[in-house]
A and B are shown apart, each in its own frame.
Chain A
């Protein structure tokens, strides 16, 4: 029996720049004990759909224009404020995307866990703090928080991302809801943590028989856990069917596009001919940071972000650098480019030692090595037009005169696939993918030999991600670049790299040519990483979850 039935839901945002039809006439239903996945790219309306059910949208600008959402026969969209509080407290719970911002930093996690029980809208259903605490601690144990008794009084910042998401899950389950909405619950987490959290949600759902709506942009993530899948695009449902039909028998073009955009399998281009001495030669590099918090004994005085790393990158090679958050991969990249001062060790670029050079001595070398950053929203100056952003490195390094500059910049725009007419626009006028193209254009402007790309596609939607990866491969080929490609996403790295280095806790765990490493990983850590990659293949995913 359907626990939730949504019919003809329309949610529009009335903004100064006109009406945005965020959700435009969608209908679906969820049965108890069932998992419904809603998949779509950013802006598809998947989150808005779910927030409108619980009246969590900011109104204005949001307005529910039409539709009903019957939860056990009661319409959620027209119920009173008090009834909505009852639903939130008793029936429907949400696990939000970002556990870093979704927990109140000013209150202990224990306090946040027990408050819906202690301050229940029904006075006679409210329970004492003591019994609420007992319940909370039992639940913390169940979601895998160790030392739950002591951790009960800790603040959110004392937990890691994965642990916070466990707390968030406990918080959602403490009121024993009948419907659980998971809004991208693993997007902000590392791949091994993601696998653990997915398993946890699946297990808890089975023991409690709750209905789950699982929102994700990642088809791979939902493959193993969903019973039904809805594919959304621009506020409408493109396709809704049982999971296997979506993955194996889809007829919809958009779904096909989503599936084909998932980077899968090996690099299609042949490995490039690698010749001569290595362009980059790193030996025994250590980059330590002073420990800001915690005890100041000799053991913990420094955070060893990069601890004795040696590697070489040949000319023309794309080296993939994989690691989870905190593994030191970004610091290693910045240390190679002399953006983060190394504690000891040396970095050689074209047989010239860069470590120890001062800022002025580095200038001619900076031209030859560039970086593409992760977040195209944060790494472009919002007060500079595209033209200014792209011309700055050219003028600074004296690669073009004022007269020629327009020609150079237009050429760059062509190279990265942006229209020349957009030169005078500011970054906020572009989409995420276009911004990353600008950032890539800025990096290749000086015609560098070596580029470090630090998670260049992880902030992008999967179809955009595929385009940007192809652009990077093209440019590497065209300009004969050498690249270090840093990512937490193993599928992406496999798609693009000739050789892979796996990093963990500041040291290199394993390295080797990409396909060899995939086929025969030696280290247990590498095996864990590889087995945690979610595959867009429901049958093998289910098998894997069942056998783990």
Chain B
């Protein structure tokens, strides 16, 4: 298993290098720069700023020195938030976004698994059709539509829950978590239904029935492990997606998380912030994919055995 993980981490290095290189040259080739503004700024001021941030050097030199910094874990200073480094900005936003993503994940797992497993146990009945239709709608509905709808119903009409903020008023974390988690719940519902249906049609489920086990035991013990492997494999990308996709939800609910910085940085041509965020999120995606792959392998005794054997 360690060998497998090490191999995957080594494979991640060229991927990250490619991400850095493509992003670096893409943003530098975009028109405008961090210091082009509506107001005319005297050229000597721009020159001084560019000198301060090393923007006057040839681009390949900037690239090499940036790479050197990244290897040391330093994403450099932000161009727009003067006096603050990219590392500081990420450190400030990450805990909030991570918390939001974590709650959204719980929402997604609880709703998604209940709906998906329930549907698979009684396929082609109301218990299947209703949640699966809801899941289809959930996949189709973007969070910038679902968020305001929830706010309208539960915040303004019913006045049950606060409509914005994070950790200011009790209950203000509920709506953003549901908004962010809903789409993923829908995916998980569909994946778990598919996985469970596949497993429930296997010969060994028939064997378990023939042994006189109860349906509950058959589902919980015999079917779940195999049936949820697709879900487990999805968890990694899903969690990374929750972290990087929280921008819309953070904007709707006025949450001071990571997503905000990311989008503003793109508009501001805040080169270091864009790059830093991209590298950070890519790393997260790679790590979470690795973790969920390892979990999926560990859940399957045959694969576990083969990985062990290869050691």
Contact = CB atoms under 8 A, between A and B. Distances in A.
Interface of A: 54, 56, 85-90, 93-94, 96, 98, 101-107, 115-116, 119-121, 155, 157-158, 168, 171, 175, 292-295
Contacts of A175: 211-212
A293 B304 CA distance: 11
Nearest to A108: B301
Contacts of B214: 85, 119, 121
Nearest to A171: B211
A88 B301 contact: no
A157 B301 contact: yes
Contacts of A98: 203
A89 to B, nearest CB: 3
A86 B208 CA distance: 14
Interface string B185-223: 000000000000000001110111111111001000110
Interface of B: prevailing SS: helix
B292 to A, nearest CB: 18
A121 B209 CA distance: 12
B212 A89 contact: yes
Contacts of A103: 204, 207
Interface in B256-311: 299-302, 305-306, 309-310
B306 A292 contact: yes
Contacts of B310: 292-293
Contact of A93 (B202, B210, B221, B306): B210
Contact of B300 (A86, A93, A106): A106
A455 B40 CA distance: 84
Nearest to B200: A58
Given A106-B225, A115-B211, A56 B305 contact: no
B226 interface: yes
A174 to B, nearest CB: 9
Interface residues of B, number: 25
Contacts of B207: 94, 96, 102-104, 168, 171
Which 7 pairs of residues, A with B, have the shortest CB-CB distance? A89-B212, A88-B212, A293-B309, A101-B203, A104-B204, A155-B301, A106-B225
Given A88-B212, A119-B213, 12 more contacts: A56-B209, A101-B203, A102-B204, A104-B222, A104-B226, A105-B302, A106-B222, A107-B225, A115-B217, A155-B302, A157-B301, A157-B305
Nearest to B229: A106
Contacts of A171: 207, 211
B210 A293 contact: no
A514 B202 CA distance: 42
A105 B210 contact: no
B273 to A, nearest CB: 46
Contact of A293 (B203, B300, B305): B305
A54 B210 CA distance: 7
Contact of B211 (A116, A155, A158, A294): A116
Given A88-B212, A115-B213, A105 B203 contact: no
A295 B302 CA distance: 16
A433 B137 CA distance: 47
A90 B212 CA distance: 8
Contacts of A94: 207, 210
Contact of A104 (B208, B210, B305, B309): B208
A215 to B, nearest CB: 14
19 contacts: A56-B210, A85-B212, A86-B212, A88-B212, A89-B212, A102-B203, A102-B207, A104-B208, A104-B222, A115-B211, A115-B213, A116-B211, A120-B212, A157-B302, A171-B211, A175-B212, A292-B309, A293-B306, A293-B310
A107 B221 contact: yes
A158 B305 contact: yes
B13 to A, nearest CB: 26
A170 to B, nearest CB: 12
A102 B202 CA distance: 8
B301 A101 contact: no
- Of the candidates A54, A89, A106, A294, the one having the most CB atoms from chain B within 10 angstroms of its own CB is A106
B211 A89 contact: yes
A116 B226 contact: no
A103 B204 CA distance: 5
Nearest to B227: A106
Given A104-B204, A104-B207, A106-B226, A116 B301 contact: no
B296 to A, nearest CB: 12
Interface in B21-39: none
A105 B211 contact: no
Contacts of B300: 105-106
Contacts of B209: 54, 56, 88
Contacts of B309: 292-295
A119 B204 CA distance: 17
A180 to B, nearest CB: 11
A359 B204 CA distance: 43
Nearest to B300: A106
Given A88-B211, A115-B211, A107 B206 contact: no
A89 B210 CA distance: 8
Contacts of A87: 212
A157 B204 CA distance: 13
A56 B206 contact: yes
A94 B202 CA distance: 16
A173 B221 CA distance: 22
A120 B222 CA distance: 16
B199 to A, nearest CB: 9
Contact of A102 (B206, B221, B306): B206
A54 B213 CA distance: 13
Contact of A105 (B206, B208, B217, B226): B226
B301 A121 contact: no
Given A94-B210, A96-B203, A106 B299 contact: yes
A107 to B, nearest CB: 7
A105 B212 contact: no
B65 to A, nearest CB: 45
A171 B212 CA distance: 12
Contact of B212 (A101, A121, A168, A294): A121
Contacts of A294: 309
A164 to B, nearest CB: 11
A88 B210 contact: yes
B7 to A, nearest CB: 16
B302 A101 contact: no
